[in-house]
Structure 1
Amino acid sequence: MPYLLLLLCLLSVNAHAVATADCDQDALCATEQELHLSFALGYGQRSNPLYGGEALPLVLLPDVYYYAEHWFFDNGKLGTGWALSEQLQLSLIGQFNQEKGHFQKWFGGNAFQFNSTVPGINIIDERYGPLQVSVQEIRKRPTAFDLGLQLDWFSTGWQLQGALWQDISNTYQGQHATLSAGRNWQSRFGDWQLGAKLHWKSAKLIDTYYGIDNNEPFYLPRYNGKASWQPELRLSWQRPVSERVSLLAFLRYLSLDDAMTDSPLVKSDNVTTWFFGISYRFY
């Protein structure tokens, strides 16, 4: 089972750039045959856009990647890459789909907390607004595994990336894709990175996780998911204190369109993630 080989993927925080044949100091890339292991201790939170969903506290964040000659593991992604040129890299990668993380606080654990009592039926008159559905009222959302092709382009201080993913676990039988651009620079206050990303998620993916179908309790409103476009902005900062210790912080804002907000499961039109802490690098 590929799941058993990839359980470490569940510790994902952030994906680093794939190694290229020639890596200058300012490029976002890793060195071949390099192991990096660090932990950041601090506090932050990722909001949950779902009714009844719990925000995810961020206290201890691992950062783990390893690049061998023919394969790599990078914070949740396992794959292999081909250097097309000094600035262009193509990778075949696999990872667990992250959509379930909104439904299960400790995504990847096998101790999902079901509601032990039957939830109350709170039917709302349509004249006063739509019915709101808690995640405790719906059936468990599945765990999916995706295989993707990722193309990275590097230049001094810049990175462009495109990725297309397909569900190979026969869970939601759909696709999703991302386009992103990032710029990093140094100042006397530390190292900065600003990025923008556009997510596209197929109707089958949205329907599997945020739709309400005939397998749900009869009193819940039906909802069929549709394809979704979700823009995201990211800002991160890091200031080295010593060779192994750094201060760091990041802020991410993901905007959700009406394909998500029309679902009776969704209460918010955004997901906000933030963290501030201190990092120690072991390797």
Structure 2
Amino acid sequence: MRYWFLLLLSLALPVQADDVPSDCDAGAHCVTEQQLYLSWALGYGQRSNPLYGGEALPLVILPEVYYYAEHWFFDNGVLGSSWQLDPQFTLSLVGQFNQEKGYFQKWFAGNAFQFRSTNASISSPILQDDRYGPQQASVREARKRPTAFDLGVQLDWFNNNWQVQGLVWQDVSNSYNGQHAGISATRFWQTVSGKWQLSSRLHWKSNKLIDTYYGIDNNEAFYLPRYNGKASWQPEIRLGWQYPLSTRVALLAFLRYLHLDDAMTDSPLVQDNNVTTWFFGISYRLF
């Protein structure tokens, strides 16, 4: 229940600002059909890594690419097809690489549209407390985690300055044979200081997903402590800001906090109970 409370609390924050007009010229959440959008953001930020021996990812160049045709779309790594149920509801069939491997492998294809980073320091191969304390395992000593591809069903509801989304994913690559899901609500508004976006999401990840990526089984090195993963609930909150300098150039920033429950933190691979991501930079729209 505390996760649902966090979700509702973040969306109940008071906002003293003028509402964003519903037209797409003013709204940051509108797209134009059959028009390619390509932009690059240059700046600096970082995504933390909650794993022992995992590398934090510096964010220097962030691409944004999307294209919406009449019956299909590509949106920053997500390929899908949508059906307009009515003016407020849209149903979509979507596919993308599962993002979980991004903590284990720096140059993972699933990170391509979110992070582009430079070299970071590598922790020692194996970390352990004294013989009476809990054991801790570096990701560099664990076996390679699989690359998974998921298919999902997404339902979106739009109402002027709000968007509510529900999404269920299924592994179709036979990599972890599990599911994950999420429900989110996003508020858009605009002030003299720029365009703002506040989003809160609750993630659910099945025990098969958690066990595949964060479990330690008999196929690992013998000295690593065993751990069987269990289903996980992970609340997330994100705040984004954009200030247009011209029709093609804008300042932007975002801050994201993801909380990890004990299904994750009980794993010997996991060091922290959260993942934080932040970025500040300037973007230029090519198309």
The TM-score by the shorter chain falls in which range? Answer: 0.7 to 0.9
Corresponding position of 1:112: none
User: Counterpart amino acid of 1:139?
Assistant: R
Corresponding position of 1:28: 29
Corresponding position of 1:63: 64
Corresponding position of 2:139: 135
Corresponding position of 2:117: none
Name structure 2 gaps, 5 residues minimum.
Answer: 1-21, 111-123
Q: What's the Cα RMSD here? A: 1.5
User: Counterpart amino acid of 1:260?
Assistant: M
**Deviation of 1:108 (Å):** 2.3
Q: Structure 1 residues 120, 198: closer, same or farther in 2, change over 3 A?
A: closer
Name structure 1 gaps, 5 residues minimum.
Answer: 1-22, 110-118
**Deviation of 1:30 (Å):** 1.4
Q: Structure 1 residues 208, 282: closer, same or farther in 2, change over 3 A?
A: same
Corresponding position of 1:219: 223
Q: Of residues 189, 192, 206 in structure 1, which corresponds to 2:210? A: 206
Indicate whether 1:54 and 2:55 are aligned: yes
Q: Can you list the C-alpha shifts for 1:23-72, whole angstroms capped at 9, x where unaligned?
A: 73337231211210000000000000000000011000000000011110
User: Counterpart amino acid of 2:48?
Assistant: S
**Deviation of 1:149 (Å):** 0.2
Q: Can you list the C-alpha shifts for 1:192-213, whole angstroms capped at 9, x where unaligned?
A: 0001000000000000000000
| TM-score normalised by length of structure 2 | 0.85
Counterpart of 1:208 in 2: which secondary structure? helix
Q: Can you list the C-alpha shifts for 1:122-150, whole angstroms capped at 9, x where unaligned?
A: 664452x2000001111110100000000
State how far apart, in whole Å, the 2-side matches of 1:38 and 1:183 are: 23
Indicate whether 1:173 and 2:166 are aligned: no
Corresponding position of 2:101: 100
| TM-score normalised by length of structure 1 | 0.86
> Is this contact kept in 1: 2:54–2:138, CA < 8 A?
yes
Corresponding position of 1:19: none
> Is this contact kept in 2: 1:27–1:157, CA < 8 A?
no
Corresponding position of 1:14: none
Counterpart of 2:136 in 1: which secondary structure? coil
User: Alignment length, in residue pairs?
Assistant: 251
> Is this contact kept in 1: 2:126–2:137, CA < 8 A?
no
Q: Can you list the C-alpha shifts for 1:136-193, whole angstroms capped at 9, x where unaligned?
A: 1111101000000000000111000000000000000000000000001000000000
Q: Of residues 221, 225, 244 in structure 1, which corresponds to 2:248? A: 244
Tell me the percent identity: 73
> Is this contact kept in 2: 1:27–1:158, CA < 8 A?
no
Q: Structure 1 residues 120, 103: closer, same or farther in 2, change over 3 A?
A: closer
State how far apart, in whole Å, the 1-side matches of 2:45 and 2:28 are: 27
Indicate whether 1:146 and 2:125 are aligned: no
Corresponding position of 1:20: none
Corresponding position of 1:7: none
> Is this contact kept in 1: 2:44–2:280, CA < 8 A?
yes
**Deviation of 1:85 (Å):** 0.4
Counterpart of 2:164 in 1: which secondary structure? strand
Q: Structure 1 residues 132, 32: closer, same or farther in 2, change over 3 A?
A: same
User: Counterpart amino acid of 1:47?
Assistant: S
Counterpart of 1:243 in 2: which secondary structure? coil
State how far apart, in whole Å, the 1-side matches of 2:42 and 2:129 are: 44
Corresponding position of 2:74: 73
User: Counterpart amino acid of 2:95?
Assistant: G
State how far apart, in whole Å, the 2-side matches of 1:28 and 1:83 are: 16
> Is this contact kept in 2: 1:121–1:219, CA < 8 A?
no
User: Counterpart amino acid of 1:63?
Assistant: E
**Deviation of 1:282 (Å):** 0.5
Corresponding position of 1:114: none
Q: Structure 1 residues 122, 199: closer, same or farther in 2, change over 3 A?
A: closer
